[in-house]
């Protein structure tokens, strides 16, 4: 297994970290939506992602980076440095990265998905262009057909914001495709001459490859026949590549048991449709990578790439959903404006290789994200390093505040930041996190302390895993270590009490203790 190089000298670490504030790098966070853990080529996938692979080859890949398992909760934690439970769907009682970095002299931009009701332009962002919702028709997010086209599939029509201007519905011209447009807007801001010497923060929040499955025909054609062999063949091939590239070790990261349908049980037509779903999904990831390549190329042309810290990650595990709401034209070609499809649970399991479960779940397949960091002037580890330190979305705000310097202040009247800075990983050092990491969404509850993880669903029994020896959660050790299980359960309950998480079973437990 390729190590994360921890032999970098302490002196070099101190000098590098102390110089970050003086450099004040540009900051870019690129967030994908519902992508599988192993979709990228540099994480074992067969999808063509040369641009992200190049960033990984010259940067750091993280194997234990965590999100919150859900779109809107992830955006709260990423942008505020807090567990999402401290806020609400409108990010109340928080300070966003735009509000923190703008007073420090950063130009602040956000393109793409928001998944809340307020306009980011009112919360510290010089520019926001995007939609205030969760899922859109990639070709036409409006409420009616454009001349010569099918009516757009998908029933939700959201408000779009372009700085202070709000539009509902937003009916773009023909040729619009969301992934391309979000990148176009980002590049336009990069090219602005005003205050161009000032550093910038860009949040490029793609909604790809979230359903509905929409993609350019030429991108879909690249993957014709790629997925004809089915779920398990793809999952095992990805796992084998993950082993070969040193991401995982077979002894400590065994491939989890399959949680998908039997491919052989499907009819010929069902197999063709299932394969096509993944072809379109792959095309969406491919197109996103192409656009990231456009962004990186423009940074190079402007002479800004070396001074820019780029993070790429995903908001939750691959989506198992097959939504029934909304409308579609059953005669439309899949991937086009009138179609509405999703990959479903079986493919979600396959593309989260080697992890268990998927979006919304508290097991690793729901809360773990591939993550890449690229910063030529700031990383002091060998190119292509692999970092195995557990980190979380709540760590982004502390990291960026450190890099922005003393002028990036955090309001004293708000909850203290929950995260820690990731800068030690830039120089090969471990993260000295003092508190466990906590998770809760829907019916799932989890705590990670060191290499140990305790997790359960609703009122089910707690499950205990030693992730240093069993990253894919195949051996439940709760009965083997009852005292550890009890201690970690109590820690989770103490945290949940402070967050005022309204679980009926949790209330019952506390009532019984008082009695």
Which residues contact residue 57 at a Cβ distance below 8 angstroms, ignoring those fewer than 6 apart? 42, 383, 384
Rounded Cα distance between 285 and 276, Å, is: 14
Annotated active-site residue 115? The verdict is yes
Which residues contact residue 265 at a Cβ distance below 8 angstroms, ignoring those fewer than 6 apart? none
Which residues contact residue 163 at a Cβ distance below 8 angstroms, ignoring those fewer than 6 apart? 121, 127, 128, 129
In the set 115, 214, 281, 320, the catalytic residue is 115
353's enclosing H/E stretch is: none
Which residues contact residue 273 at a Cβ distance below 8 angstroms, ignoring those fewer than 6 apart? none
What is the pLDDT, as a whole number, of residue 193? Answer: 79
Strand partners, 113: 131
Rounded Cα distance between 387 and 63, Å, is: 6
What is the pLDDT, as a whole number, of residue 3? Answer: 41
Residue 126 CA to chain centroid, in angstroms?
24
Q: What is the DSSP letter of 40?
A: S
What is the pLDDT, as a whole number, of residue 12? Answer: 44
Task: Tell me the CB-side half-sphere exposure of residue 435, using CA atoms within 13 A.
Answer: 15
174 token code pair: 């023909």
Residue 91 phi/psi, 5-degree rounding, is 60, 35
What is the pLDDT, as a whole number, of residue 9? Answer: 40
Judge whether 488 and 475 are in contact, CB under 8 Å.
no
For the domain 437-514, what is the CATH code? 3.30.1120.10
Rounded Cα distance between 415 and 427, Å, is: 29
List C-alpha distances in Å: 273 to 35, 220, 225, 494.
20, 13, 12, 48
CB atoms within 10 A of CB 309: 25
Strand partners, 449: 452
Domain 10-426: CATH superfamily is: Alkaline Phosphatase, subunit A (3.40.720.10)
Judge whether 206 and 33 are in contact, CB under 8 Å.
yes
In the set 71, 368, 387, 391, the catalytic residue is 71
What is the pLDDT, as a whole number, of residue 13? Answer: 46
Rounded Cα distance between 190 and 181, Å, is: 14
What is the pLDDT, as a whole number, of residue 406? Answer: 81
Output the tens digit of pLDDT for each of the chain's 515 residues.
444 433 334 444 444 454 554 579 999 999 999 999 999 999 999 999 999 999 999 999 999 999 999 999 999 999 999 999 999 989 999 999 999 999 999 999 999 999 999 999 999 999 999 999 999 999 999 999 999 999 999 888 999 999 999 999 999 999 999 999 999 999 999 999 777 889 999 999 999 999 999 999 999 999 999 999 999 999 999 999 999 999 999 999 999 999 999 999 999 999 999 999 999 999 999 999 999 999 999 999 999 999 999 999 999 999 999 998 778 899 999 999 999 999 999 999 999 999 999 999 999 999 999 999 999 999 999 999 999 999 999 999 999 999 999 888 899 899 999 999 999 999 999 999 999 999 999 899 999 999 999 999 999 999 999 999 999 999 999 999 999 999 999 999 999 999 988 765 554 444 443 44
Q: What is the DSSP letter of 85?
A: G
139 token code pair: 């070709």
DSSP secondary structure of 428-480 = TPPP---S-EEEEETTEEEEEETTEEEEEETTSPPEEEETTT-TT--S--TTT
Strand partners, 452: 449, 466
Rounded to two decimals, what is the model's pTM? 0.94
Judge whether 409 and 30 are in contact, CB under 8 Å.
no
Rounded Cα distance between 476 and 330, Å, is: 45
Domain boundaries, the chain: 10-426, 437-514
Q: How far apart are the first and last CA of the chain?
A: 52
List C-alpha distances in Å: 382 to 20, 60, 499.
19, 9, 40
Q: What is the DSSP letter of 394?
A: G
Annotated active-site residue 71? The verdict is yes
What is the pLDDT, as a whole number, of residue 151? Answer: 95
């Amino acid at each position: 297994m390729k190590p994360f190089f921890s032999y970098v000298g302490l002196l070099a670490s101190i000098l590098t970290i102390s110089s970050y504030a003086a450099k004040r790098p540009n900051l870019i966070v690129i967030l994908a939506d519902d992508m599988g853990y192993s979709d990228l080529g540099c994480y074992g996938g067969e999808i063509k992602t040369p641009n992200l692979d190049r960033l990984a080859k010259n940067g750091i890949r993280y194997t234990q980076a965590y999100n919150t398992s859900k779109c809107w909760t992830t955006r709260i934690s990423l942008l505020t440095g807090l567990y999402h439970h401290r806020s609400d769907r409108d990010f109340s009682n928080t300070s966003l990265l735009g509000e923190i970095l703008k007073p420090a002299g950063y130009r602040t931009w956000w393109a793409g998905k928001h998944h809340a009701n307020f306009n980011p332009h009112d919360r510290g962002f010089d520019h926001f262009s995007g939609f205030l919702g969760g899922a859109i028709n990639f070709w036409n997010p409006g409420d009616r057909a454009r001349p010569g086209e099918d009516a757009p599939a998908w029933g939700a029509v959201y408000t779009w914001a372009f700085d202070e201007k709000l539009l509902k519905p937003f009916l773009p011209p023909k040729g619009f495709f969301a992934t391309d447009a979000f990148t176009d807007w980002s590049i336009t801001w990069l090219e602005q001459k005003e205050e161009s010497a000032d550093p910038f923060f860009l949040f490029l929040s793609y909604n790809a490859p979230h359903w509905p499955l929409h993609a350019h025909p030429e991108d879909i054609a690249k993957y014709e026949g790629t997925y004809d062999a089915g779920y398990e063949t793809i999952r095992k091939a990805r796992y084998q590549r993950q082993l070969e590239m040193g991401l995982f070790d077979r002894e400590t990261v065994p491939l989890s048991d399959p949680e998908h349908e039997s491919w052989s049980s499907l009819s010929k037509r069902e197999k063709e449709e299932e394969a096509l779903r993944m072809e379109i999904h792959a095309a969406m990831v491919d197109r996103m990578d192409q656009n990231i390549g456009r962004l990186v190329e423009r940074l190079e042309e402007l002479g800004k790439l070396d001074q820019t810290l780029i993070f790429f990650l995903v908001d939750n595990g691959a989506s198992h959903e097959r939504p029934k709401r909304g409308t579609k034209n059953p005669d439309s070609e899949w991937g086009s404006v009138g179609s509405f499809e999703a990959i479903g649970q079986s493919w979600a399991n396959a593309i989260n290789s080697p992890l268990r479960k998927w979006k919304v779940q508290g097991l690793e397949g729901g809360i773990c994200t591939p993550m890449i960091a690229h910063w030529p002037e700031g990383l002091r580890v060998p190119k292509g390093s692999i970092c195995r330190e557990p980190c979380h979305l709540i760590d982004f705000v502390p990291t960026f505040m450190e890099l922005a310097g003393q002028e990036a202040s955090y309001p004293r009247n708000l909850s203290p930041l929950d995260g820690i800075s990731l800068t030690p990983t830039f120089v090969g050092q471990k993260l000295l996190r003092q508190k466990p990491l906590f998770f809760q969404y829907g019916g799932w509850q989890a705590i990670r302390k060191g290499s140990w993880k305790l997790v359960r669903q609703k009122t089910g029994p707690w499950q205990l895993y030693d992730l240093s020896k069993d990253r894919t959660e195949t051996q439940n050790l709760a009965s083997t270590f009852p005292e550890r299980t009890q201690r970690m359960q109590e820690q989770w309950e103490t945290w949940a009490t402070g967050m005022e998480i309204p679980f009926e079973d949790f209330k019952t437990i506390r009532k019984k203790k008082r009695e």
